[in-house]
Amino acid sequence: MSEKLWDGRFSEKTSSRVEKFTSSIQIDKRLYAYDIAGSVAHSQMLAKCGVITADEAAELVRGLELIKGEIESGALAYDDSLEDIHMHIEARLFQEVGKVAQKLHTARSRNDQVALDVRMYLRKETADLIRSLARLREQFILLAREHVDTIMPGYTHMQRAQPVLFSHHLMAYYEMFTRDARRLADCLTRINVMPLGTAALAGTTYPIDRHYVAELLNFPLVSSNSMDTVADRDFILEFLADAGICMLHFSRLSEELILWSTSEFGFIELSDAFSTGSSIMPQKKNPDIPELVRGKTGRVIGGLVSMLTTVKSLPMTYNRDLQEDKEPLFDAVDTLAACVDIVTRMLPEITVQKDRMRSAANTGFLNATDLADYLVSLGVPFREAHSHVGQAVAYAIENGRELHDLTLEELHKFSPGIKADVFELLQPENVVNRRTSYGGTAGTSVAAAIEAAAAELQSDKQTLPSF
């Protein structure tokens, strides 16, 4: 058991059970680089403000950089009795540079220090995620461009509804992931606020310059209220909510990929490299990647719920409960990053069974709305047209046929004005291509939407954060 950096007022040593229970080092050790960068900036600021000398600051910085090397080479041993990464670095610094190490913690506390470390970690991870989401969005655009004339059934209630272009379906996911990327970019503006120097909760009596620290660490903003600063975890909650929504999108996509690769649908085939076999059934090719992506969604949503519950009812300001923020956050970051990466790699490997999609779009009365619209063009009120077509559908079902397989005479039983040009109109291509309303599935609209998305993605890339 080592001496504690805070044990001045204690007469008994901490029990090892308590040390084990309260320690967070195994989790927060991944913050070391941000902790060191923050301490370097803090030392330089203390020297600039005359709180320590320039030589002392130089000695602290030398020691901190040496420790960084030790951590990266695996030379620094972690020990529960030193609680967290902040304590480990400070204790090691004392061994290295001696008494001057004790000046590093002037005008700050671990409460603002941990807020700084997590904010620096999360702004980097968020920026990385926005960058990887840009690569994913690009894949949707590339795949959509290949399928501007691939027709598939569109569904509502999991029932065939109207034919759509496969590219239109893909671009629906482009939209979702674009919102996700932009939500994260918005969240980043609230993550990227510098908290150091608020000290434990009330600010400090030393003449420090928090804006100088912000400048050194490349933060555009400095937090305003010292109490809010050490108590605030909204930026984590927001990130987890954004990550959860993004995972929902991955989960919905996965569900579709799984369905489409069944023999029942047969719309796509996942490549062998992205599938797994069964240990008992030799014929199986399982969609484990999308299944795992779908399965991992629960962890990220769980992380959000866990953090909401942790923060709920906490009085001002810092409470040790907040130490519980890192596990769900790190897990959500890792999970989301892994999903973005694997799905980006999996998409171009998918084989699309165009013929199967096309023939599925040809059955199930997907052109019924168009027949009704056709009757409307002949002057039949829509409700009446709807009912006539409904009767035609019932008749076709009874006879095991589709609307476009009925003869003109048969169609006349339901609406006498129908002409022979109706058959052309009922072709899936025409059903699709007549939907030229903005945002609709017509080939021309989808091609324009794809090119607009490509331009939008280019401009989003111009404003990617530089962390």
Footprint of ligand ARG on this chain (CB under 6 A)? 24, 28, 84, 110-111, 114, 318, 320, 322-323
- Cβ atoms of 163 and 366 closer than 8 Å: yes
Q: How far is the CB of 23 from ligand ARG (least distance, A)?
A: 9
Q: Kindly state the smallest distance separating residue 457's Cβ from ligand ARG, in Å.
A: 37
Rounded Cα distance between 268 and 263, Å, is 10
Closest to ligand ARG by CB, 114 vs 181, is: 114
β strands within 270-415, DSSP E: 351-352
**Between 111 and 445, CB nearer to ligand ARG:** 111
Minimum CB distance to ligand ARG, residue 320 (Å): 6
| Helix (H), strand (E) counts: the chain | 19, 6
Residue nearer to ligand ARG on the CB measure, 310 or 344:
310
- Tokens 């920026």 map to which residue? 127
Structure tokens at 363: 């059955």
169 is a catalytic site residue: no
Residue 336: CB atoms within 10 Å: 28
| 153 bridge partner residues | 163
Measured N-to-C along each axis, helices 32-48 and 85-97 cross at an angle, to the nearest 10 degrees, of 60
- CA atoms of 229 and 194, how far apart (whole Å): 9
**Among this protein's residues, is 157 annotated catalytic?**
yes
For the chain, give the number of residues.
467
Alpha-carbon distances of 182 from 133, 254, 315, 428, rounded to whole Å: 10, 22, 32, 35
Min separation Cβ 184 and ligand ARG, Å = 23
**Residue among 110 and 404 whose Cβ is closer to ligand ARG:** 110
Q: Which of 157, 263, 313, 459 is catalytic?
A: 157
- Selected catalytic residue, list 2, 271, 278, 377: 278
CB nearer to ligand ARG: pick between 263 and 313: 313
Token digits of residue 446: 């989808």
Q: Minimum CB separation from ligand ARG for residue 109, in Å?
A: 7
Q: How far is CA 257 from the centre of its chain?
A: 19
Which residues does the annotation mark as catalytic?
A: 157, 278
